[in-house]
Structure 1
Amino acid sequence: MKTDISRRSFLGLGAAAGAATLLGACGDGTVPGAAGGGTLKWGWALTTSWDPVTSSAGWDVHVLSLVYAGLTKLDERGDAVPALATGWKYNADGTEVAFTLRPGLKFSDGTPLDATAVKKSLERGRDLPKSLVGPQLVNVAAVEAPDGGTVVIKLKAPDFQIPNLLAGKTGMIVSPKAFESDAAALATQPVGAGPFTLTAYTQNAKAVFARNPDYWDAASIKLQHFEAYPLPEAATVVAALQSGQYDVAQIPGSQVEAAKAAGLQVQVIPSLVVAVLDVNITKKPFDDPKVAEALRYAVDRAALLKTAQFGHGDVAYQPFPKNYVGYAPALDGIYAYNPGKARQLLAESSYQGAPVDVVITTAAAAGVPEQLQSQLQAVGFKPTIEVIPQAQATQLVYVQHAKALFVDQFAGRDSAVQAFQVLFGKEGLMNPGRQQPPELADALAVVSRTPLDSPDYAKVLQEATSVAVRSMPNVFLYSVPRILARRPNVSAIPEFTVVQRFEGVTVA
């Protein structure tokens, strides 16, 4: 019993680009009697859609978490803890879990957030034809609301990952009144029960929020107002922070020293984001296992990390960061840079020197494609660089399966099994070859059947990580920490591994 204790394609939002949307609960956002915490201006990113069911980027979860809440949330370590629910209890075999809701919950439109509302919201995520979270809910056989304060989720097969899964986009609870009256409007006008309410929105430019006094943990939210902006340009982000255009902004590793020299505070926060080469083993030359293996040893990860992030982060051989429960220490150095071995494997393979396209997007880190091209060429590959638009990457690489080798980043997921499904599942978005060995499916089944608080959980999850890394073609490169620079008048930002949160933050 639990007690109180991340895609890259972009969907049209149904509104003209650049059009401003004003929402009903505007006002000045001042909450009578609330402790003043100022306005925080965040240079980060804006969401592909304000509807979590149709949001198409894993990265969206950070901004969506400002306006939505789930039954659970993840703490700094990535463990599920209560949110809208005060706790949960599984049956003995893990096929049913009952959540107890906090009393008196309300959505930002004033309607009650009770068990029936949760039931309708989760069913919409599972059943809506255009839902992008539906694949994560296929194991949900039924959602029941036996009374106003209890939600029972019945599963087709044992799955103790549900509390983690529901902490992210998949479990964000949307007002039924909103999606039953005008679901399309949710793309620009969210109605949730998060710490803030969206009061104004200019697509691709700015989102303005006011503190939500009805949020279940409103006492921890000190900021009266919040503003989110698209990611600042690397060359101007420090100056923009100095000028007050932003109070907090994500910065690249190349700007860390400049930010410190300018008197800004810098936090390097471990995250679930990892740079990775996605390999389609159904396309030549990677349909030959020796070619795919040669690729693992041909890459100098430390050199790429230095180029991409000025050394901020760690060399990676797996999808999870150090100190995360799924991180398997046994994999450290498993495919360490070994150009001699790469050349030998390539010589033993069927590869005859055909060109290999290193596919990147317009958002690729400067210098990395050229460096990767040089590394592959040094062991006998004939690499060329192909640049595709960022907005077309998902369609070309993961829907049409048209590319053999893609330089990408994986934003992580709230549930470890969900991350495995995205990366390695037969229908996984980031598994362009759509193949999965039986031993990996078996390992993941064991993880799903193991309770999160079991003493065996870390062991079985790390074993699944080892099976995945050894049997799947993905080439993990380096971890990508969340680097935030802030003005001196902003208090420290909480360091959450999965989703960035702002409890306790103030602006003097």
Structure 2
Amino acid sequence: MSSSLTRRSFLGLGAAAGTATLLAACGDGTVAAPGTAGGTLKWGWSSVTSWDPVTSSAGWDVHLLSLVYAGLTKLDEKGNAVPALATGWTYDSAGTTLTFTLRPGLKFSDGTALDADAVKQSLERGRDFPKSLVAAQLANVRSVTAPDATTVVLGLAQPDYQIPNLLAGKTGMIVSPAAIAADAAALATKPVGAGPFTLTSYVQNAKAVLTRNPDYWDAASIKLAGFEAYPLPEPATVVAALQSGQYDVAQIPGGQVEAAKAAGLRVQVIPSLVVAVLDVNITKKPFDDPKVTEALRYAVDRAALLKTAQFGHGEVAYQPFPKGYAGYSNSLEGIYQYDPAKAKQLLAQSSYGTSPVDVVITTAKAEGVPEQLQSQLNAAGFKATIEVIPQAQATQLVYVQHSKALFVDQFAGRDSAVQAFQVLFGKEGLMNPGRQTPPELADALAKVSRTPLDDPTYPSVLQAATAVAVKSMPNVFLYSVPRILARRANVSAIPEFTVVQRFEGVTVS
């Protein structure tokens, strides 16, 4: 039997990386004041596709959903699964039975009891609801039982030690069964969970107003009395909006960092799991020729793209995981360094010979990276053109219809390593438009799922899978995208959580 408290997630930092302090030295060297409950934080961030975690269609939604929902687990600042609604969990020796112990006396924001039966109903809805967008993540959960009010038992079809991490995200957010029974469709705009805040007012794509939930299991850590969330401001106006008090905290682009500092704002550059990537469809010309796909890897000057897109905030990336985390493979460092001469050589060896290879770069915005990428590809033997499509149609055209050969995108990492791999490389993976996964990668991922997170071999098993994926799949990773937050001086430092932004201890004076 293994205790949850000893498990390491795929994000677990090595000892050399040190331990982040939750409320101290958060990026800009300031320390959050302990404070008392009070103040309302106005956050310029994003809108949600749905307040129902089961029907939410964007990974980015998890940041706002985490304000109103809680899961059995949560991820700490390093990405490790730690107790939340559950005080702990254990696996049986076979790795196919996972038992969670709930905190007693839990309540949803509607006042109803959050007990084992409520958890059972919520997880089963995520798995079985016909319109659920998290169902695939729960496919391995054969059964959910509630032998008593504080015990939840998951029966798994096969060993899977990633579940505690998986349940820390949208997949494991617990929804009130009473709200589901009353009007499940209403959850899209009227969420009922057990998170740190309760949504009291919502105007879609305009404003969400939340108040502190006194029944939250960790309410003592929530100092804010209220929270207001707004869509992401325009890059050109975000600094002025912060100065005027329209927002207290907002995400800013790398190009606005110096302007924000000059305006007296505090800036935090928080490492995240977001990475810029080129999605390649190997069923479309010219990438149906493996030599062309390989040439693309060497034709891209990642450092130059990073400077253009992020003004140097971030790091060049050849893989989906950042440095310092268990999934990061040192063997891949610099594997596809910029080499236009090699790219030309590979194209000459392809079925296209020495003629320039036509390729269309599909993007939702031509300026910046796509234009620079076009120039780089043309210098390496391609004949690249840019096609701009509406952002609202991108998912349908690229990932549902699979009609585009090359798409400029970003990948937001997931709570579980295997979940991230499934999205990027699985046969049904959203960001795998070619819908092909080589057998050696499928075998490597299965081995990751079967390896306990506290097994000493886990990091090497995961890193081996990362290496297989990067070498065998066509995705071209470009650079990491940190979460850059600017805040007014009256707001205490924001905790630096890699995966999901949290606000424990934050105060507004």
| TM-score between both structures, scaled by the size of structure 2 | 0.93
Unaligned runs of 5+ in 1: 6-33
> Which position in structure 2 is the counterpart of 1:337?
338
Q: How far has the Cα of 1:500 moved from its partner?
A: 0.2
**Aligned partners of 1:360, 1:4: CA distance in 2, in Å?**
43
**Aligned partners of 1:361, 1:421: CA distance in 2, in Å?**
24
- Work out whether residues 317 and 332 of structure 1, in 8 Å CA contact, stay in contact via their aligned partners in 2: yes
Unaligned runs of 5+ in 2: 7-34
**Aligned partners of 1:37, 1:335: CA distance in 2, in Å?**
51
Q: How far has the Cα of 1:46 moved from its partner?
A: 1.4
Instruction: Tell me, yes or no, if structure 1 residue 279 matches structure 2 residue 280.
Output: yes
CA root-mean-square deviation: 1.1
Instruction: Tell me, yes or no, if structure 1 residue 134 matches structure 2 residue 135.
Output: yes
> Which position in structure 2 is the counterpart of 1:196?
197
- Given candidates 360, 364, 367, the residue that maps to 1:361 is 364
Q: How far has the Cα of 1:324 moved from its partner?
A: 1.8
**Aligned partners of 2:442, 2:340: CA distance in 1, in Å?**
32
> Which position in structure 2 is the counterpart of 1:104?
105
- Aligned to 1:66, the other structure's residue is in SS state helix
> Which position in structure 2 is the counterpart of 1:79?
80
> Which position in structure 1 is the counterpart of 2:418?
417
Q: How far has the Cα of 1:257 moved from its partner?
A: 0.2
> Which position in structure 1 is the counterpart of 2:441?
440
**Aligned partners of 1:309, 1:211: CA distance in 2, in Å?**
35
- Work out whether residues 3 and 86 of structure 1, in 8 Å CA contact, stay in contact via their aligned partners in 2: no
Which amino acid is the alignment partner of residue 436 of structure 2?
A: Q
> Which position in structure 2 is the counterpart of 1:460?
461
- Work out whether residues 61 and 169 of structure 1, in 8 Å CA contact, stay in contact via their aligned partners in 2: yes
- Work out whether residues 318 and 469 of structure 1, in 8 Å CA contact, stay in contact via their aligned partners in 2: yes
> Which position in structure 1 is the counterpart of 2:481?
480
Which amino acid is the alignment partner of residue 361 of structure 1?
A: A
**Aligned partners of 1:54, 1:434: CA distance in 2, in Å?**
23
> Which position in structure 2 is the counterpart of 1:350?
351
- Work out whether residues 106 and 115 of structure 2, in 8 Å CA contact, stay in contact via their aligned partners in 1: yes
- Aligned to 1:256, the other structure's residue is in SS state helix
> Which position in structure 1 is the counterpart of 2:160?
159
> Identity over the aligned pairs, expressed in percent?
81
**Aligned partners of 1:393, 1:128: CA distance in 2, in Å?**
26
Q: How far has the Cα of 1:330 moved from its partner?
A: 1.4
Deviates more, 1:42-51 or 1:352-361: 352-361
- Aligned to 2:61, the other structure's residue is in SS state helix
**Aligned partners of 2:493, 2:349: CA distance in 1, in Å?**
54
Offset from partner CA, 1:411-438 (integer Å, 9 cap, x none) = 1100010000000001111100010011
Offset from partner CA, 1:363-384 (integer Å, 9 cap, x none) = x6x4111100000011111111
Instruction: Tell me, yes or no, if structure 1 residue 504 matches structure 2 residue 505.
Output: yes
**Aligned partners of 2:57, 2:98: CA distance in 1, in Å?**
28
Offset from partner CA, 1:117-139 (integer Å, 9 cap, x none) = 00010010011111110111111
Offset from partner CA, 1:278-310 (integer Å, 9 cap, x none) = 000011110111000000000000000000010
- Aligned to 1:145, the other structure's residue is in SS state strand
Alignment of 1:137-148 (within 5 A): 137-148=138-149
Which amino acid is the alignment partner of residue 346 of structure 2?
A: L
Q: How far has the Cα of 1:442 moved from its partner?
A: 0.8
Q: How far has the Cα of 1:457 moved from its partner?
A: 1.2
Q: How far has the Cα of 1:2 moved from its partner?
A: 2.6
- Work out whether residues 4 and 86 of structure 1, in 8 Å CA contact, stay in contact via their aligned partners in 2: no
- Aligned to 1:65, the other structure's residue is in SS state helix
- Work out whether residues 121 and 173 of structure 1, in 8 Å CA contact, stay in contact via their aligned partners in 2: yes
Offset from partner CA, 1:130-187 (integer Å, 9 cap, x none) = 1110111111111111111000001111100000000000000000111111011000
Q: How far has the Cα of 1:353 moved from its partner?
A: 3.8
**Aligned partners of 2:38, 2:473: CA distance in 1, in Å?**
48
Q: How far has the Cα of 1:60 moved from its partner?
A: 0.4
Count of aligned positions: 478
**Aligned partners of 1:485, 1:325: CA distance in 2, in Å?**
29
**Aligned partners of 1:280, 1:37: CA distance in 2, in Å?**
51
Offset from partner CA, 1:97-123 (integer Å, 9 cap, x none) = 000000000000111000110001001
> Which position in structure 2 is the counterpart of 1:23?
none
Offset from partner CA, 1:339-365 (integer Å, 9 cap, x none) = 010000001001354531100014x6x
**Aligned partners of 1:328, 1:504: CA distance in 2, in Å?**
34
- Aligned to 1:41, the other structure's residue is in SS state strand
- Work out whether residues 357 and 381 of structure 2, in 8 Å CA contact, stay in contact via their aligned partners in 1: no
Alignment of 1:20-169 (within 5 A): 35-169=36-170
- Aligned to 1:346, the other structure's residue is in SS state helix
> Which position in structure 1 is the counterpart of 2:308?
307
Offset from partner CA, 1:456-493 (integer Å, 9 cap, x none) = 11111111111100110000000000000000110000
**Aligned partners of 1:349, 1:415: CA distance in 2, in Å?**
37
- Aligned to 2:144, the other structure's residue is in SS state strand
Q: How far has the Cα of 1:3 moved from its partner?
A: 5.3
- Work out whether residues 43 and 249 of structure 1, in 8 Å CA contact, stay in contact via their aligned partners in 2: yes
> Which position in structure 1 is the counterpart of 2:289?
288
